[in-house]
Chain A
C-alpha cells in the first residue's frame, strides 16, 4: 500500500476515457461499480464540455456481485450500441471490475455486434492515466489502421509532384493541459510552413479517420505521453517518421519548425526569419534583470517539465534547482536533461517526496502541477502551473497555448506573475518594518499581507533533523531575518551546512557572513 495525499495521475481507465471523449463516433463501455461515473465530471465540469462523455458504465452494486455481473456488462454493451450507434466500441474494466475478472473483451465479442470491438486491458494496480491513454490510443490505431498496413518491405510511395506535404498531428486528448490551444497554435505554424494536416487524433477523429493515418507523410507528436506508442507503431508499419521536438518555448519552437521542414522537404528559413514571440525582448528588457539566477523548482509530466527547464534557463535566465517528473516512462529523459543542467533529478509519483524536496531546496519559484500549488501554499513560495494535473481554472476561456510563439508569450506572463516585482523586492529588503509592504506576499497579487505561514510539523521535523545540533545565536537569527524572505531559507541551510563543515556549534553573525562569502556566486 502506498500513502497518497494527492495523486498525480488518475487510474488508467480515465486515460481511456480521455481518448474516447476526444474522439467522435466511438463509444466506451466500462465495467465499473456505482460511483465511478464521477469521471464524467472531469469532462463536463473541469473541461466544461457540453455533452456527456461517450461512456456507458455498468455501475454494479454489492447485490450484483452475488449474481451475474457478466450479464450486466453484456446488457450495457448491447444497449449502448443500439442507442448511440457508434462506428466502433471500446470495452474495458475499472479497478474494481478488474478484481472480479469478467473479461469485457471476450463478452463483447460474444455478442456478435455489427461494429469493431476494441478491448483494452488496463492493469489498474500497476499503471496510471497517461499509460492508459497511450495504450488505448495505440490499440485503437492498430485496430483501425492495421488492415491497411502494407506488406513488410514495401517502400513508401514518393509524394506526388505538386502535392503539399501532409502530416498527422498526434496526441491531443480530452482533459489535456492546454491541448485545445496548442493544437490551434501548431496548426497555424504548419500552415505557414506549407504543410497540410491529414488527421488530428485522438481529438476530433473518428475511427474511420484513424484508418487513414497511414496516408500522411509523417507524424507530428505533440504529447509523447499519450501518442508515443501509437507513433512508434505507425513508424514501424507505415515507415512514417515522427517529430521528436515538442515546441514549448521559443528555442524549441524554432527547432520544431526546422525539424518539420526537414521531414517535409521544405525551407524553414522564411518562417524562422519572422520572429513572432515577444518573450525574447521582454526577457532582455532591463525590467527582467532581477530574474537572473532565481532558483526554480520544476515538476510535472516529463514533456512539460523538460520543456520548462529549457525555457527557464535559456530564455529567462533562471537557475533550475531540481527537475522532476511523475512520468516514470520518461525517467531517463528527465535524468539526462537534469544532468545537462547540472541540477537534481527527481522521478516519483509520491507527493510527499516532492514536498520534502521543496522544503529542503527552498526554491524561489515552483513550476509544477495543481499538486505543487498545495506544496507552495504550505511553504509560502510563488508558484505557476506548467502541467497536468490541473483544475478548472487551467482550462481557461481565453487563448492560452503553451506551444509555439504565442505559447512563449503566455509562459513569460504566467511564470513571472507570482514573483514579487523588482521595485518592491528592493524596498522590502531595505526597509523591513513596513506595516503594509512586508515580505509575506507580493502586493501586486492584492492580498493583505498575511502572517508568515506557521511551519508545519513535518517541516519542523525536517528542520530539526537538518540543524543537527547547530544553534543560532540570537543576533545571528535576527540578522537572518533581514535577508529577503525568498532567499532566507537557502541562506539558513547554507549557513548551517557551513557551520557543520567547520565544526561550529554556535552560529554567530560573523559565521553567517562567512558562509555568505563562501557560497557567493
Chain B
C-alpha cells in the first residue's frame, strides 16, 4: 500500500545527531533557517556540550533579497567557524529545505572552500533537507558524499570487504573479530571513525550493507566498481548469520570454518533472544514509518520472537536492497510505504496492537490512549546489530510491555 498525506517523520538533518559522534574530527554545518538550527538543538541539546560539532549558518532576509552574496556570506561563516575550531579536518556543508528551494549551490561552495580557502580542511556537501530526505536518509546522503573521497584500490588488489553504514563501535569490533575468525582479513568500514581513515574502494571491493537505508551510497560505491553482496540485514540471530554468510561465501570461506567462527555467538544469541520470547510471542505489533529499519525489524520479531505483524510502515521501500528481507516476511503482511498520518492512526487504533513502534511525536499521546509504544528513534541510537546485541534488540521491544506490567500506579 502506498499512501500520501501528512508525514510525521524527521528530516535528514537529524542524522547529524549520531554522525557527529561517529566521525570524531568532522563538523556539520547546516545551511538553513532557524527551524533547522532549532531541530538539531531540540534533539541533541539535552546533552551539555563544551564544544559541539555541529552548527547552522542561518539564512537571513538579506541573503534572500540578494543583498548579500550568499557565497561570500558562507565563506565568512566558515572562516569564523574554522578559526574557532582549528581541530576540524572534515567539514560537511549540509543542505536544508530553504537552501534547496533557493537553489544555493553548496557543492560548488564546498569545492571552492576546499581548494582555495581552507586546503587543510576537506569540505564536502550533502542534503539533509526534509523535502528530499527522511531521517536516516541523511546518513545515506552523507556517506554518498564521502564515496568520491575514498582512495582507489590498486587494480590487482586482493578482494576486500567494505561494511557500509554507521555502526556502534562495539558492534564494529565484534564484526571485525568474526571476519578475522573466518579468515577475511581485509575489512573496512564506512563511515570511518576519523576523517583521514577512509577505506580504499575499487573493482575488487565487495560491500555488505549494514543498514537498509543506503540506496545512494550503494549506488555511488557501485559507480566506483564495488559489488554489493545481497543479504538480509544483521538484526537477530538469523539475519546476522545470513549477513555473515553472504560475505563468507563471496570470500570462499570453508563452511566448517564459518560454522566454527559463528557457532558460539549464534548459540549465545539464541539463548538471549529466547528470554524475551515468552513476553512477546503472539503479541501484535504495528510499525509507523520512520527509519526504513521497519522491514528487517518486523522480520526479526515475527520469525524469532513469534510476534504478529499488524502493519509494517516504512517511509521508503528499497525493493532491491530489501529483497531478501521481504521474502522472509510472513505471507500477506500489510506493508505500507509513505504515510497519511491521521488515516494510519485510525488503522492503528482499529488494529488494537499490543505494541506500537512510532516516533516521539506520537509515543506519549498513544500511551495516554492506553497503547504500549516503543519509540523508534532509539533503534538508530542503540547497538542492535550482530549476535551479541540480538538479546538487547529483543529487550527494546519487551521492555515497554514489562514496564506496563510492573507499574501499579
**Chain A 59-92 against B: per-residue CB contact (8 Å), 1 yes, 0 no?**
1111011000000000010010001000000000
Q: Which residues of chain B are near A373, meaning CB under 8 Å?
A: 48
User: In the assembly, what is the distance between CA of A458 and CA of B51, in Å?
Assistant: 10
B residues within 8 A CB of A79?
A: 342
Is B363 on the interface with A (CB-CB < 8 A)? yes
How many Å lie between the Cα of A164 and that of B60 in the bound state? Answer: 50
Distance to closest chain B CB from A389 (angstroms) = 8
Within the complex, the shortest CB–CB distance from A108 to chain B, in Å, comes to 16
Q: Which residues of B contact A48 (CB under 8 A)?
A: 364
- Cβ proximity bits B46-81 to A, threshold 8 Å, 1 near / 0 not: 101111100111111101100010100110110011
B131→A51 contact, CB < 8 A: no
Assembly CA distance A456 to B49 (angstroms): 12
Contact B35–A44 (Cβ < 8 Å): no
Q: How far is the CB of A198 from chain B (nearest CB, A)?
A: 30
> Are B50 and A453 touching (Cβ within 8 A)?
yes
A94 with B35: CB separation less than 8 A: yes
Q: Which of B93-101, B187-195, B275-283, B390-398 contacts A (4 or more CB under 8 A)?
A: B93-101
Pick the contact of B8: A1, A40, A58 (CB < 8 A).
A40
CA of A42 to CA of B42 in the docked complex: distance in angstroms? 7
Of B6, B51, B55, B129, the residue contacting A58 (CB under 8 A) is B6
Q: How far is the CA of A60 from the CA of B59 in the complex (A)?
A: 21
Chain B residues within an 8 Å CB radius of A100: 101
**Selected interface stretch from B82-90, B160-168, B175-183, B323-331:** B82-90
Q: Which one of B5, B80, B86 has the greatest number of beta carbons of chain A within 10 Å?
A: B5
Complex contacts, A11 vs chain B, CB 8 Å: 33-35, 38
Complex contacts, A13 vs chain B, CB 8 Å: 35
Contact of B60 among A1, A38, A44, A458 (CB under 8 A): A1
Give Cα A313 to B305, complex, Å: 63
* Residues of A contacting B: mostly: mixed
Pair B97/A50 contact, Cβ less than 8 Å: no
CB of B58, distance to nearest CB on chain A (Å): 5
Complex CA–CA separation, A83 to B72 (angstroms) = 48
Interface contact A50-B131, CB-CB below 8 Å = no
Q: B372 interface residue, CB < 8 Å from A?
A: no
Neighbouring A residues of B356 by C-beta, 8 Å: none
Q: Which residues of B contact A49 (CB under 8 A)?
A: 364-365
Asked if A57 is at the interface (CB within 8 A of a chain B CB), the reply is yes
Pick the contact of B129: A33, A45, A391 (CB < 8 A): A33
User: B302-328, CB under 8 A of A: which get 1 and which 0?
Assistant: 000000000000000000000000000
Interface flag for A154 (CB, 8 Å): no
CB-CB under 8 A from B134, the residues of chain A are 34-35
Given contact pairs A7-B38, A96-B33, A126-B61, A392 touches B46 in the complex (Cβ within 8 A) = yes
Interface 0/1 of B1-27, CB less than 8 Å to A: 000011111111110000000000000
Contact B131–A2 (Cβ < 8 Å): no
In angstroms, Cα B73 to Cα A56, docked, is 35
The reply on B37 being an interface residue by CB < 8 A is: yes
- How many positions in chain B have a CB within 8 Å of any CB in the partner chain? 68
B131 in contact with A65 (CB, 8 Å): yes
- Give the contacting residue for A377; candidates B38, B43, B50; CB below 8 A: B50
The minimal Cβ–Cβ distance linking B47 to chain A, given in whole angstroms, is 9
By beta carbon, the residue of chain B nearest A3 is B77
> A46 and B42 in contact (CB under 8 A), knowing A34-B11, A37-B7?
yes
Tell me if B80 and A3 are in contact (CB < 8 A).
yes
Cα-based distance from A2 to B11 in the complex (angstroms): 22
Are B35 and A51 in touch, CB under 8 angstroms? no
Q: Does B401 contact A (CB under 8 A)?
A: no
Question: A446 CB to closest chain B CB, in angstroms?
Answer: 16
| B215 / chain A contacts, CB cutoff of 8 Å | none
In the complex, the answer to whether B68 meets A1 with C-beta atoms within 8 Å is yes
CB-based contact A52/B80 at 8 Å: no
Contact (Cβ within 8 A) B101 A65: yes
- Among A61, A83, A456, the one with the most B-chain Cβ atoms within 10 Å of its Cβ is A61
Q: Does A99 contact B (CB under 8 A)?
A: yes
Partner of A1, one of B11, B49, B58: B58
Query: In the complex the two chains form, is A7's CB within 8 Å of B131's CB?
Result: no
- In the complex with contacts A61-B131, A126-B61, A35-B360 CB distance below 8 A: no
Partner of A95, one of B45, B98, B342: B98
A14–B33 Cα gap in the complex (Å)? 13
A44 engages B361 (CB within 8 Å): yes
B365 contacts across to A, CB distance below 8 A = 44, 49-52
User: Once the chains bind, are A6 and B34 in contact (CB under 8 Å)?
Assistant: no
Distance in Å: Cβ of B62 to nearest Cβ of chain A: 9
The answer to whether B50 touches A52, judged by C-beta atoms less than 8 angstroms apart, is no
Report which of A5, A34, A41 forms a contact with B360, defined as CB distance below 8 A: A41
> For the complex, what is the distance from the CA of A58 to the CA of B70, rounded to whole Å?
29
Which residue of chain A has the shortest Cβ distance to B34 in the bound complex?
A11
**Cβ–Cβ contact B368 & A35, under 8 A:** no
CB of B81 to closest CB in A, whole Å = 6
| A-B contact list, 22 entries, CB within 8 Å | A1-B76, A3-B81, A10-B35, A14-B35, A34-B7, A37-B7, A37-B8, A40-B8, A44-B365, A45-B360, A48-B364, A49-B364, A49-B365, A50-B365, A51-B365, A60-B131, A62-B100, A94-B35, A99-B101, A100-B101, A125-B33, A374-B48
The 5 closest A-B pairs by CB, nearest first: A35-B11, A35-B130, A40-B361, A50-B368, A10-B38
